[in-house]
Amino acid sequence: MRKVTIGIIGAGRIGRLHANNIINFSDVRLKTISDLSNEHVTDWAKGIGIEQVVTNNEEIINDEEIDAIFVCSPSDTHANIILAAARKGKHIFCEKPISFSIKETKEVLDVVESAGVQLQVGFNRRFDRNFLRIRESIKKGVIGTPQIIKITTRDPKPPPLEYVKQSGGLFYDMSIHDFDMARFLINSEVVQVYSIGTNLIEPYIEEEGDVDTAIISIKFANGAIGVIDNSRKAVYGSDQRVEVFGEKGCLTCENERLTTVEFINNKGAYQDKLKHFFERYKDAFIAEARSFIDSVQTGDPVVCNGNDGLQAGLIASAAQQSHLEGCLIKINQFKE
1 binds its own copies (CB under 8 A): no
In terms of CB distance, is 136 or 336 closer to its own copies? 136
* CA 275 to each of CA 70, 256, 282: distance values in angstroms, whole numbers, following the listed order: 26, 6, 10
> How far, in Å, CA of 301 to CA of 288, rounded?
13
Query: Which residue, 194 or 281, has its beta carbon nearer to its own copies?
Result: 194
Sign for the CA dihedral angle at 77, 80, 85, 91 comes to: positive
The answer to whether residue 55 forms part of the interface with its own copies (CB under 8 A) is no
Binding characters for its own copies, 238-267, by CB under 8 A (x = yes): -x-----x-xxxxxxxxxxxxxxxxxxxxx
User: Nearer to its own copies by C-beta: 169 or 226?
Assistant: 226
β-pair partners for 204? none
Strand partners, 239: 154
Residue number with CB closer to its own copies (116 or 249): 249
Please identify, among the stretches 54-62, 89-97, 140-148, 171-179, the one whose residues bind its own copies according to the rule CB under 8 A: 140-148
Q: Which of residues 151-170 bind its own copies (CB under 8 A)?
A: 154
Site for its own copies in 73-132 (CB under 8 A): 129-130
Q: Strand (E) positions, 86-237?
A: 91-94, 119-121, 146-154, 190-198, 213-220, 225-231
158-174: buried (b, 16+ CB within 10 Å) or exposed (e) per residue? bbeeeebeebbbbbbbb
Residue (25 or 307) nearer to its own copies, CB: 25
> If binding is defined by CB under 8 A, does position 187 make contact with its own copies?
no
- Pairing state between β 28-34 and 213-220: unpaired
The nearest distance, CB 164 to its own copies, in angstroms, is 18
Residue 21 Cβ vs its own copies, minimum distance, rounded to whole Å? 12
- Which residues, numbered 200-229, are part of the site for its own copies (CB under 8 A)? 200-201, 213-215, 217, 219, 223-227, 229
Contacts of its own copies in 263-322 (CB under 8 A): 263-274
Residue 133 interacts with its own copies (CB under 8 A)? Answer: yes
The Cα 79–Cα 57 span in angstroms is 13
Strand 268-271, strand 249-253: pairing: unpaired
Q: Are 51 and 31 in contact (CB under 8 A)?
A: yes
Cα separation values, 6 from 68, 72, 74, 97, 291, Å: 5, 13, 19, 21, 14
Site size for its own copies, by CB under 8 A? Answer: 71
Closest to its own copies by CB, 91 or 232: 232
Q: Does 234 bind its own copies (CB under 8 A)?
A: yes
